[in-house]
Structure 1
Amino acid sequence: MLIASFLLAPLFSYAEVSKPNIIFIMSDDQGYGDVSAFNPNSKINTPAIDRLAKEGMMFTDAHSASAVCTPTRYGVLTGRYPWRTRLQKGVLGARTSKLPDGSISVGDEPLIDGKTLTVAQFLKGQGYDTAITGKWHLGFKYILPKDTAIDKSRGKYYDAVPVGTKIVGGPIERGFDKYWGFHHARQMGTWIEQDEVTYNLENTDEMLNRITVKAVDYVSDPARKAAPFFLYVPFSAPHSPVVPSKNWIGKSGINKYADFVMETNNSVERILHALDKAKLSDNTIVIFTTDNGTSPSARIEQLIAAGHHPTADLRGTKADIWEGGHRVPYIVRWPGHVKAGSTYDKPVVHNSLFATSADILNVDLPNNAAVDSFSILPALKGSEEETHPIAIHASVLGHFAVRVGDWKLATCKGSCGWSKGGDKNTPMQLYNMKTDRAETTNLFNEKPDIVAQLKQQLEQAVYNGYTVDGKTGSNDVPVTIYKKSKVKSKKISH
Structure 2
Amino acid sequence: MKPVQLFLSLLFSTVFTVAVVHGLFAQQKGSKPNIVVILADDFGVGDIQALYPQNKIPTPHLDRLVREGMSFGDAHSSSAVCTPTRYSFLTGRYNWRTPLQEWVLASYEPPLIREERTTLPEMLRQNGYATACIGKWHLGWNWPGKQASRMMAEGNALRKFQWDYTQPIAGGPIAHGFDYYFGTDVPNFPPFTFIENDRVYIQPSARYKKTAYEGMFLPPIFDDMPMAPDWKFDEILPELTRRAVDYLHERSKEEQPFFLYFSMTSPHEPVAPSERFRGKSGIAPIADFVMETDWSVGQVLKAIEEAGLSDNTLVLFTADNGHNYYADLDKLLKAGHLPSGPYRGFKGDIWEGGHRVPFIVKWKDQVQAGTTSDQLLCLTDVYATVQELVGGGSPRPDEAEDSFSFLPVMLGEQTTSGRTALVSHSNHGEFSFRDGSGWKIVYLLPEKNVGLSRGKPAKVELYNLSEDPEERNDLLERHPDIAAQLERELRAVVERGTSRKGKKQANDVEVRFDVIQKARWALP
Both proteins in one fold, TM over 0.5: yes
Question: Structure 1: how far apart are the matches of 2:41 and 2:468?
Answer: 27
2:190 to 184, 187, 191: 187
Residue 416 (structure 2) pairs with residue 381 (structure 1):
no
The equivalent position to 1:342 in structure 2, one of 351, 365, 371, is 371
Aligned-partner Cα distance in 2 for 1:229–1:160: 38
Measured at CA, do residues 299 and 229 of structure 1 come closer, stay the same or move farther in structure 2, by a change above 3 Å?
same
1:56 lines up with 2:89 in the alignment: no
For the residue of structure 2 that corresponds to 1:459, the secondary structure is helix
Q: Does 1:442 align with 2:442?
A: no
Q: In structure 2, how many angstroms separate the alpha carbons of the residues matched to 1:414 and 1:145?
A: 41
Partner of 1:411: 443
Counterpart AA for 1:458: L
Whole-Å Cα distance in 2 between the matches of residues 342 and 118 of structure 1?
30
Q: Quick one: structure 1 residues 27 and 293, their matched pair in 2 at CA, closer, same or farther if it must change by over 3 Å?
A: same
How far is 1:224 from its partner? 5.1
Contact 1:57/1:338 (<8 A) preserved:
yes
Change (3 A) 1:284 1:88: same
Q: Determine if the alignment matches structure 1 residue 173 to structure 2 residue 175.
A: yes
Task: State the match for 2:233 in structure 1.
Answer: 204
Indicate if the aligned counterparts of 2:136 and 2:264 stay in contact, CA closer than 8 A: yes
Q: Alpha-carbon deviation of 1:401?
A: 0.5
For residues 348 and 84 of structure 2, what CA distance do their matches in structure 1 show? 11
- Using structure 1 for the length normalisation, give the TM-score: 0.86
Partner of 1:371: 401
How far the C-alpha of 1:113 sits from its partner, in A, is 0.1
Q: Tell me the SS of whatever aligns to 2:444.
A: coil
Report SS of the residue matched to 1:297: coil
Give the drift of 1:411: 1.5
- In structure 2, the CA distance between the partners of 1:223 and 1:476, relative to structure 1 (3 Å rule), is same
Q: Structure 2 vs 1, CA of residues 167 and 384 (structure 1 numbering), >3 Å: closer, same or farther?
A: same
- Alpha-carbon offset, residue 436 of structure 1: 1.3
Change (3 A) 1:484 1:472: closer
Alpha-carbon distance between aligned partners in 2 of 1:416 and 1:208, rounded to the nearest angstrom = 36
Equivalent in the alignment of 1:99: none
Match of 1:127 in 2: 128
Structure 1 partner of 2:44: 31
Deviation at 1:14, TM superposition (A): 7.2
Aligned counterparts of 1:415 and 1:277: Cα–Cα separation in 2: 55
Cα 1:452–1:218, aligned 2, differ >3 Å: closer, same or farther? same
CA displacement 1:399-431 (0-9 Å, x = unmatched): 10011111111112699989xxxxxxx931211
**C-alpha distance in 1 between matches for 2:193 and 2:331:** 31
Q: Is the 8 A contact 2:146 2:162 kept in 1?
A: no
Structure 2 spans left out of the alignment, 5+ residues: 1-25, 148-158, 203-227, 451-457
CA deviation digits over 1:170-192, x for unaligned, max 9?
00000000000011121362100
Per-residue CA deviations over 1:320-350 (Å, capped at 9, x if unaligned) read 0000100000001111111101101131000
SS across alignment from 2:46: helix
Letter matched to residue 197 of structure 1 = V
Cα distance, 1:253–1:167 mapped onto 2, change above 3 Å: same
Q: Which amino acid aligns with 2:463?
A: Y
Deviations 1:207-259 (A, max 9, x none): 11111111100001155532100100111110011000111101100000000
Give, in angstroms, the shift of residue 472 of structure 1. Answer: 4.2
Report the residue type matching 2:291 in the other structure: M
Counterpart of 2:182 in 1: which secondary structure? Answer: strand
Change (3 A) 1:198 1:41: same
- In structure 2, relative to structure 1, the CA distance for the partners of 1:114 and 1:223 (3 Å cut) is same
2:314 counterpart SS class: strand
- The answer to whether the Cα contact below 8 Å between 2:444 and 2:460 also exists between their aligned partners in 1 is yes
Distance in 1 separating the partners of 2:331 and 2:94: 35
Deviation (angstroms), 1:378: 1.8
Compared with structure 1, are the counterparts of its residues 130 and 224 closer, same or farther at alpha carbon in structure 2 (3 Å cutoff)?
farther
Is 1:110 paired with 2:140? no
Q: 1:222 and 1:456, CA in 2 relative to 1: closer, same or farther beyond 3 A?
A: closer
Query: Is residue 164–residue 198 contact of structure 1 (8 Å, CA) maintained in 2?
Result: no
What code does the residue aligned with 1:377 have? L
The range that moved more, 429-438 or 84-93, is 429-438
Q: Report the CA distance between 1:15 and its aligned residue.
A: 7.4
In 2: Cα distance, 1:471 partner to 1:81 partner: 17
Whole-angstrom CA distance in 2 between matches of 1:126 and 1:387: 24
The answer on whether the counterparts of 2:252 and 2:309 sit within 8 Å (CA) in structure 1 is: no
- Mapped to 2, the partners of 1:160 and 1:301 lie a distance apart of 39
Question: Within 2, Cα distance between the matches of 1:179 and 1:414?
Answer: 42
- Distance apart, 1:142 and its partner CA: 2.3
Q: 1:40 to 1:48 in 2, by over 3 A?
A: same
CA 1:160/1:18 → structure 2, altered by over 3 Å: closer, same or farther?
A: farther
Q: Is the Cα–Cα contact under 8 Å of residues 384 and 405 in structure 2 kept in the other structure?
A: yes
Counterparts of 1:162 and 1:210 in 2: how far apart (Å)?
25
> 2:303 — aligned with what?
274
The equivalences for 1:91-490 within 5 A come to 91-94=104-107, 107-144=108-145, 164-184=166-186, 185-187=188-190, 189-199=192-202, 200=228, 202-222=231-251, 225-361=254-390, 362-382=392-412, 383-405=414-436, 406-412=438-444, 427-470=459-502, 472-484=504-516
Q: Kindly provide the CA deviation profile for residues 429-484 of structure 1, in whole angstroms up to 9, marking residues without a partner as x.
A: 21111121111211111111110010000000000000012354210011111134
> 1:337 and 1:282 mapped to 2: Cα distance?
10
- More strand by proportion, 1 or 2? 1
In the alignment, the residues of structure 1 paired with residue 292 and residue 74 of structure 2 have an alpha-carbon distance, to the nearest angstrom, of 25
- 1:307 is matched by which residue type in structure 2? G
CA contact (8 A) 1:58 1:332 kept: yes
Percent identity of the aligned residues?
A: 43
Do the aligned partners of residues 70 and 417 (structure 1) sit closer, same or farther apart at CA in structure 2, a change above 3 Å counting?
farther
Number of residues of Structure 1 aligned to a counterpart in Structure 2: 446
Q: Which residue of 2 aligns with 1:74?
A: 87
Q: Deviations over 1:281-322 (max 9, x none)?
A: 111110001111111232111101111111111101111000
Q: Offset of 1:47 from its aligned partner?
A: 1.1
Name the SS of the counterpart of 1:239 in structure 2. coil
Q: Distance in 2 between matches of 1:318 and 1:473?
A: 30
Structure 1: distance between partners of 2:47 and 2:165: 36
Residue of structure 2 equivalent to 1:101:
none
**Deviation digits for residues 363-385 of structure 1, max 9, x if unmatched?**
34322111100111121022222
Contact between 2:311 and 2:364, CA under 8 Å: does it hold in 1?
yes
Secondary structure, aligned partner of 1:274: helix
- In structure 2, the CA distance between the partners of 1:378 and 1:54, relative to structure 1 (3 Å rule), is same
2:76, 2:378 within 8 Å by CA — same for their partners in 1?
yes
Q: CA separation in 2, counterparts of 1:416 and 1:483? A: 15
